[in-house]
A and B are shown apart, each in its own frame.
Chain A
Amino acid sequence: MKKTTIIQTKNISKVYKTGEVETVALSDVSINIEKGEFVAIMGPSGSGKSTLMHILGALDLPSSGDYLLDGKNISRLSEDELADIRNRQIGFVFQAFNLLPRTTALKNVMLPMIYAEINKEERLEKAKKYLEMLGLKDRMEHSSSQLSGGQQQRVAIARALVMDPAILLADEPTGNIASVQAEEIMAIFQELNDKGHTIIMITHESDIAYHAKRIILIRDGKIVTDEMNGKQNK
């Protein structure tokens, strides 16, 4: 299988300015991630992994350096262009699920497609397809408060997948879930990865990171180690 680079960062840095004080959140980070990889980004809190995730997710722009997503440099794009990229190329899974309250699972999954201006029939069809795929066939009309943590995260995964994005970006996806359900979620990620989805996961738990094929360790805004997960590969 020919390897295609999907994410390439070239010396990206992020500096936050609060008044006169400058805080360096990322310095000179260069990563290449290929299509079909399952990468875990690890690091203690304050290490800059969330900043990296925001930049990789096109939620924020680097202060310097270039970020090429699927071969396109997106580090100088306008806000609306970035919104479009988030909509079509990136699927987010958050720690707190971030489903719309008092809204059914089906409508939550349909939300990204509304922004993509996909017509109603297609929206309904695709949302149902992905919810079924994640084993939520009889939970479609439930609102988020009627679902368990694991179920809510599965709705969120369905929502992340529904636009068929190039990468799936998960920020501590099991952080708010009981451990049994956390294993289920990780099994889903592994299955998705087996089907060819590129997954980037941020976590500080090593047993969750263990599911990934490649682990990048960040500390003080710099990459410390970047290696294949030996145990996993064997």
Chain B
Amino acid sequence: MVNKINNMELKEAIFESLSALMINKMRTGLAILGIIIGIASVIALISLGQSSQKSIESRIESLGSNLLTVRPGAVRESGVRGAAGGRTSLTLDDAKEIVVSSQVTTISKVSPEFSERSQVMAEGNNTNTQIIGVTPVYADVHKINITSGSFISQNDVDSMAKVAVLGPQVVTDLFGDGANPIGQTIRVNSQMLTVIGTTVAKGGTGFNNQDDIVYVPLTTAQKQLFGANYLNTISLEAKSSDVMVQAQNEVGYLLLARHHLSDPTNADFSIMSQQDLINTVSSATGTFTALLSGIAAISLLVGGIGIMNIMLVIVTERTREIGLRKALGAKKKIIINQFLTEAVILTFSGGIIGSLLGVVTSYFIPKLSVLILQFLYQRLFWLFLFPESLVLFSVGTLRKRHLIYSRLKR
């Protein structure tokens, strides 16, 4: 019986609060809007962060889980540490030594690479892209598949052949969508190269776009296109993902010995595994996610403060009614409960709508995420300006309202 009465009261309190909220629909709507935007942005931005983290991680993983990457580091000469990426410390001989050395037992494939960005021209079109000098083993190590034609062969490397294999993005940029460029010539640094193959799209964007690449024989890239005798990457494939640490150590000591360095802290190269890369990227995107969530949380807080303000106004406006209810025997608790119910209805409905909106937005984010991320990176400045412009706008309307009001009073 007591329970029944309480349920009845709850129902009545909710009903009462709803009718009170309906009296000023505009105010109620604006208060709810604050919460909607707050919650929707928290959900959407967190899922944006997490989905971009996931996609980056899975892309890295798709490159192979037992991949090691050796890159040149800072060169240390007579106690002075040069800038990182002194770039000339790795050579083709290093790569060859890794293949033949008896010290290295856990590496199955070695892919020496030299890459440089350059302008590429064909049929009057041109594009700026990554030119990468490779050996045939590159396709195995990096899981490159060929759509048509063939990949760079050992023969091409040995004979310094003027041939190129194009990524799908380059094909589109130079020859148009869906064109077959095999047999056509492209021009890089005033050298004419014949296209002998195209690769399967792998996806990716920005600096990490694996489709926006031109593959040429390593020797061609080093000697004919860019005149360099060093490598900027040696990609290694370990025999299994269980021996990654051992592989890292073996290669590390071999290269230290070859570069006549005794102290590993002075190494002029770095060896990163895919896991290292994932960890680095994860912590970076994690920071980014935290930043986004922080901004969203602030907007949620502002929404909450908005509701506090509205409730304060409602209470002040209805002091007479509160007095009457008290005279009729309402206990303090009942009155507090009534206003609490109103606040809960406001936040709850705002929360539900906001969650739905956030989920819907997140659903579309995978498609938009990269666009939005780039947008945010480029226009973070405008993002910070946004609240200020809102404030300016509301001050503007306030002034207008004030003018109207004073005219009415007159």
Q: How many residues of B contact A (CB 8 A)?
A: 20
* A52, B334: Cα distance in complex, Å: 27
Given A98-B320, A119-B5, A88-B23 contact (CB < 8 Å) = no
The total of interchain contacts (Cβ-Cβ below 8 angstroms) comes to 54
**One of B8, B9, B332, B334 near A79 (C-beta < 8 A):** B332
Asked if A150 is an interface residue, CB under 8 A from chain B, the answer is no
B332 cross-chain contacts in A, Cβ below 8 A: 79-80, 83
Min C-beta distance of A76 to chain B, whole Å = 18
In the complex, are the beta carbons of A100 and B334 less than 8 A apart? no
* Residue from the set B326, B327, B329 with the largest chain A CB neighbour count within 10 Å: B329
Q: Which residue of B lies closest to A165 (CB)?
A: B329
Residue of A nearest to B12 (CB): A114
Known pairs A114-B9, A119-B8; A100 contacts B329 (CB<8 A): no
The reply on A221 being an interface residue by CB < 8 A is: no
Q: Give chain B's interface secondary structure class.
A: helix
Give the CA-CA distance A88 to B4 in the complex, in Å: 22
Q: Mark each residue of chain B from 8 to 29: 1 if its CB lies under 8 Å from any CB of chain A, else 0.
A: 1100100000010001000000
With both beta carbons as reference points, the residue of chain A lying nearest to B320 in the complex is identified as A98
Question: Given known contacts A114-B9, A120-B8, is B331 in contact with A100 (CB within 8 Å)?
Answer: no
> Interface code B303-347, partner A: CB below 8 Å = 1, 0 otherwise?
000000000000000001100111111111110000000000000
Contact A117/B23 with A111-B328, A112-B329 known, Cβ cut-off 8 Å? no
Question: Which parts of A37-91 form the interface with B (CB within 8 Å)?
Answer: 57, 59, 79-80, 83-84, 86-88
A16 within 8 A of B: no
Contact B5 A83 (CB under 8 A): no
A98 contacts B324, C-beta separation under 8 Å: yes
Q: A100-B321, A102-B19, A102-B23 are in contact. Are A115 and B331 (CB under 8 A)?
A: yes
Q: Enumerate chain B residues within 8 angstroms of A84, measured Cβ to Cβ.
A: 329, 331
Q: How far does the alpha carbon of A87 sit from the alpha carbon of B326 in the complex, in Å?
A: 9
Binding site for B on A (CB under 8 A): 57, 59, 79-80, 83-84, 86-88, 92, 94, 98, 100, 102, 111-112, 114-117, 119-120, 159, 163
Beyond contacts A59-B327, A100-B324, A115-B325: 9 other A-B pairs, Cβ-Cβ < 8 A, are A84-B329, A86-B329, A87-B329, A87-B330, A92-B327, A94-B324, A112-B329, A115-B329, A163-B329
7 contacts between A and B (CB under 8 A): A86-B327, A98-B324, A114-B9, A115-B325, A115-B329, A115-B330, A117-B5
